[in-house]
Each structure stands twice: as structure tokens, then as C-alpha cells.
Amino acid sequence: MMVPLTREGRKAREEFIALISKYKKPQESDVLEVGMGRGYFGSIVGDIFKTYSGIDNTIDNLEICNRKHSGAFDYRLGLAEAIPFGDNIFDILLYPRVFHYIELKDQAIREAKRVIKPQGLVVVIEPNPDYKGHIWVDPRMQEGSPSFEPKRLSDKLDKIRASMDYVRKQRVFKVLEEIPIFDNNMVASFLIN
Ligand SMILES: C[S@@+](CC[C@H](N)C(=O)[O-])C[C@H]1O[C@@H](n2cnc3c(N)ncnc32)[C@H](O)[C@@H]1O
């Protein structure tokens, strides 16, 4: 069962459909979301695709996702660096807000290459490190919370910048474009196999 979307969710969904449709027909695409977390992204766009699968490295997230989507999507426990699916399966790989967490990026890219079909699309979406309106960039949110302490925040932003740079420079997939999305809140990099 899909969760009812907020106004922002609906807007993000429309924008995302338009972007993806530049390259692929969603209704004909088998999709894997790497690092699906609690299924937020899947709940916004999962139903537009032919099939929607997701992996995450935490069991709690897997249980939440399976409860939320009650079997509509194929969610599994797994690592970006060791994707628990066979070769040449997916038309689209999505990495929403996850690539900067991945430790072994070369290995993750090798795995992406293995599971994706020829001419498959890889979409890496990172929080925009230059956008000032993130909830975790708002100074009011930093008060009394170690997660938003300035040093940790600047380390996180550095990590995101390094991750984006890695994606731009990797040589396994061809970079098609990199654009701000969702009201400049995120940046999407589109790569083709
Ligand atoms: C910020 S959440 C993003 C969740 C979701 N993609 C979204 O946008 O709503 C990042 C998720 O990636 C997962 N993750 C981090 N490193 C991972 C890895 N190497 N392999 C698989 N999942 C990973 C974390 O457990 C977390 O659930």
C-alpha cells in the first residue's frame, strides 16, 4: 500500500518522473534503490516503475520497509558493495542520499556495473552541500544536538563533496548530467552504462 503523499512529496514525485523520463520509460524499467533506508524514496516514486527493489545494510530498515509496503516491492538486506541480485537485471539504479555513506566506492561501482543492463541508467542523488535550507544546516536545529554540531556538519558536507567528486571522476559509467533538483535541496547525477 502506498503512503499518501504530502504536497512536497507529490511535487518531488512529478519532478522525478519528468527527469527519469528523459532517459528511460519508467513503466518498462526494473529499478533497484541502493540504501533504501525506511523506504521514503520508494514511497514517493516506487509505483511508477515496472518493478521496484531495494537493499539496505540494516535489518531494522528492512523490517520497516516490508511493513510499510507489505510486499509490493522486493526489499532485501544487502550492501552496495555486495548487491544480493544477479547480473544484468536492472534498467535503473538509484542511490538517493546514500553514496556518501558508502565506504568502498570502487567496489560499489563494480557491483553497480555487474547488476545493471547495457544502456542502464545510474542516478546518484546527494544532499546539495551548497544549499543553506537543509534541516541539518539550520542553526536552530544545531542547538543542543551533537549531530548538528558545526564540526560534524562540516565533516558531513566535506564527505558529500568528496562523494560527488568521486562520481564525476569515476570512469566506469559515462556522466550525462548533474543538476540541482527538489528546489535545490539535492543534486542528481545521471550516469549511463
Ligand atoms: C540517508 S538514508 C537514505 C534513505 C533513502 N534512500 C531515502 O532517500 O529516503 C541512507 C541509507 O543508506 C544505508 N547505507 C549506508 N551505507 C550502505 C551500504 N554500504 N550498503 C547499503 N546500504 C547502506 C543506511 O543504512 C541508510 O538507511
Nearest atom within ligand 1 for CA of residue 95: 6
Establish if 175 belongs to a structural domain. Answer: yes
Establish if 150 belongs to a structural domain. Answer: no
Establish if 146 belongs to a structural domain. Answer: no
Range of the domain at 40: 7-127+160-192
Alpha helices (H) along 22-128: 40-45, 59-69, 105-115
Beta carbon of 127 within 6 Å of any ligand 1 atom: no
Q: What is the pTM of this model?
A: 0.93
Which DSSP symbol is given to 173?
S
Q: Which pLDDT tens digit goes with each residue over 147-178? A: 667 787 788 899 999 999 999 999 999 999 99
Q: Ligand 1: which of 38, 53, 56 to mutate, most ligand atoms within 8 Å of CB?
A: 56
d(CA 34, CA 5): 22
Residue 144 has pLDDT above 60, yes or no: no
At 56, is the secondary structure helix, strand, or coil? Answer: strand
Of all protein residues, whose CA lies closest to atom 4 belonging to ligand 1? Answer: 37
How many structural domains is the chain composed of?
A: 1
Q: Give the domain CATH number at 75.
A: 3.40.50.150
* C-alpha cell belonging to residue 22: 528523459
Beta carbon of 43 within 6 Å of any ligand 1 atom: no
Of all protein residues, whose CA lies closest to atom 2 belonging to ligand 1? Answer: 37
Establish if 27 belongs to a structural domain. Answer: yes
Q: Which pLDDT tens digit goes with each residue over 36-57? A: 999 989 989 999 999 999 999 9
Q: Give residue 143's pLDDT band: very low, low, confident or very high (50, 70, 90).
A: low
Establish if 74 belongs to a structural domain. Answer: yes
| Mean pLDDT rounded to a whole number for the chain | 90
Q: Which pLDDT tens digit goes with each residue over 62-73? A: 999 999 877 789
Establish if 77 belongs to a structural domain. Answer: yes
